[in-house]
Amino acid sequence: MNSVDWLGVVALLMVAVMVVPAALRRNRGVALRNAVLWLALVVALVWIYDSFGPFGTRF
């Protein structure tokens, strides 16, 4: 995992630059709300896995 596929990163950024502004313009309020909800869900799942998963050492 020491090498980075820079061509893939650049391609992903180029696609994001083309797609994200149009998506945000189309669903201005809904997209932000959905992004916050998905981010909260991912953070909660990571916290649950860290606390209670096979590598959790807190409990």
| Cβ atoms of 13 and 20 closer than 8 Å | no
Domain of 25 in residue numbering reads as: 6-52
Given a cut of 60, whether residue 57 has pLDDT beyond it is: no
The answer to whether residue 57 is domain-embedded is no
Encoded tokens for 5:
């596929």
The answer to whether residue 58 is domain-embedded is no
The answer to whether residue 1 is domain-embedded is no
The answer to whether residue 30 is domain-embedded is yes
The answer to whether residue 21 is domain-embedded is yes
Average pLDDT over residues 27-47: 83
The answer to whether residue 59 is domain-embedded is no
Structurally, how many domains does the chain consist of?
A: 1
Among 11-20, 22-31, 41-50, whose mean pLDDT is lowest?
22-31
Rounded Cα distance between 19 and 25, Å, is: 10
The answer to whether residue 45 is domain-embedded is yes
- What's the whole-model pTM score? 0.48
Sorting pLDDT into bands at 50, 70 and 90, what band is 26? confident
**58 CB-near residues (< 8 Å, 6+ apart):** 50, 51
